[in-house]
A and B are shown apart, each in its own frame.
Chain A
Amino acid sequence: MSEPPALELEGLERRYGERIALSGVTLRLEPGQTLAVIGANGAGKSTLLRVLAGLLRPHSGSARVLGAQLPGETWRVRARIGYLGHDPLLYRELSGRENLVYQSRLYGLPIERVDEALAEVGLERRSGEPVRDLSKGMVQRLAAARATLHAPDLLLLDEPRANLDPAAAERLEPLIGRASGRARVLVTHDVDAALAETDVVLGLRGGRQAFALPVAELNRQRTRELYT
């Protein structure tokens, strides 16, 4: 049986009260492909990510993630989604290692996986320190370790390289970059960098879908219009 698409969205809509935060999002993303989501501040990018992660319910339209219909079947794919948002979702009073051990228990993973994950992000030596004592870049690396601890098939990434120096960004490439081989949804303001590692581009303007195109068919003028 063939693998279902990573994403299948049809007229997806999400409101906050009366305000429409996301409207008419329709696209398809195959396994292993990357979707870049671009648009000005408040365009609905982070809302889309939270809907796909199952943190927010879609109010109308249809959303299938890894073959599971949201929100009813979200439970089926929770263990296959990795989410790296604005908030690192780490406890400041716990050490990096304690945070990952806690996550490993939630996901039912062996404890050895924690040491592997710390090594992958180069934080073995600082893993005993409370998160509040780590630099922003280190916290972001730890958050990436948290998001990929359970080897997800789909990564939802919101500005994943924020606070990272070039060496750290390179270090995370096998985990959250194109080299990971995972399907990815990448929210970013760095349009040029995003287009270089993307298969499909979703442009959002005021919560509405301006376009959803394969990167090869994208006219750069259309990306600029999103920010004017």
Chain B
Amino acid sequence: MIRTASAILRKDLRIELRTKETVPAMTLFTVTVYVLFHFGLDRDSLDGELASGVLWVTLLLAAVIGVTRLFATEREQGGIDSLLLAPVDRTALFVAKAAALFLYLLLLEVVAVPVFGLLLLGPDLFDALPELALILLLADVGLAAVGALVSALAAETRARELIVPLLLLPLVVPLLIGAASATEPLLREGGQSEDLGRYLALLGGYDLVFVLIALGVFDYLLDD
């Protein structure tokens, strides 16, 4: 299964590297939204709850673009049929797509978080980086699992651009609550989170539940 997932992932990354359709779109969207907030809020800087909310809601909306595009190549070029014809475990497709989305989110955040720090954040981001990186990693795992599941569900529908946000966004509300709450104290001047461990456990639990659900049901999503 791992060998098949690795083959699918390498193929996806190679196609993304050539077409540059997903990660640049997600990044451009995120930077644009931060610029809009910068001017729209008419404030010199943000911190605390507001900063955390702006950071996470924008990242989640950018993730919608990645999720919508995740199965686009398979849908448009017969990739799903080609996988269903092959003697492979279909779960490998979920693992590969979730891994691809996870990498797309990481690449997005490498650009988006420093831009957020420059354009919107009052306190220095540098001190909070180790904790923030941990929160981002845990949130990305959950987003990747739910995103791959939702993308597969929407892949064969006509109104997929509508269905992806309608399904994805409610499902990631617990993840948003955990990530934004864990991040909020880190974005205050000299702030330290006393409840960080609790929120990381919430994010870890969310990841575990959705990875297990996805592994359990993904096979049926691809069934005729």
Contact = CB atoms under 8 A, between A and B. Distances in A.
Contact of B79 (A56, A81, A89, A98): A89
A60 to B, nearest CB: 14
A108 B3 CA distance: 9
Contacts of A79: 86-87
B81 A89 contact: yes
B100 to A, nearest CB: 14
Contacts of A90: 77-78
Contacts of A103: 82, 86
B85 A53 contact: yes
B interface, by DSSP: helix, strand, loop or mixed? helix
Interface string A84-118: 01011111111000100011011110000000000
Interface residues of B, number: 22
Contacts of B86: 78-79, 103, 106-107
A83 B83 CA distance: 12
Interface in B83-114: 83-88
Contacts of B83: 106
Nearest to B4: A106
B11 interface: yes
A55 interface: yes
B7 interface: yes
Contacts of B223: 57
Contacts of B78: 87-90
Nearest to A74: B84
A54 B223 CA distance: 10
A92 B223 CA distance: 25
Interface stretch (B13-21, B128-136, B152-160, B195-203): B13-21
Nearest to A78: B87
B197 to A, nearest CB: 41
A106 B88 contact: yes
Contacts of A78: 85-87
Contacts of B15: 91, 93-94
Most B CB contacts (10 A, CB to CB) among A55, A87, A105 go to A105
Contact of B77 (A92, A130, A146): A92
Contact of A87 (B18, B81, B224): B81
B32 interface: no
A105 B224 contact: no
B73 interface: yes
A83 B7 contact: no
A146 B86 CA distance: 11
Given A102-B11, A105-B4, A91 B85 contact: no
A75 interface: yes
B81 A75 contact: no
Interface string B207-224: 000000000000000011
A55 B19 contact: no
Interface string B11-43: 100110011000000000000000000000000
Given A91-B15, A91-B73, A103-B82, A55 B88 contact: no
A103 B4 CA distance: 10
A81 B83 CA distance: 13
Interface in B104-128: none
A91 B4 contact: no
B10 to A, nearest CB: 8
Given A91-B77, A102-B11, A83 B18 contact: no
A44 B84 CA distance: 21
Interface in A14-70: 53-57
Nearest to B6: A105
A105 B85 contact: no
10 contacts: A55-B81, A55-B85, A79-B86, A83-B81, A87-B78, A89-B77, A89-B82, A90-B78, A92-B77, A106-B83
Interface of B: 3-4, 7, 11, 14-15, 18-19, 73, 77-79, 81-88, 223-224
Q: Which 8 A-B pairs have the closest CB atoms?
A: A105-B7, A106-B86, A89-B78, A79-B87, A78-B87, A87-B78, A89-B82, A57-B224
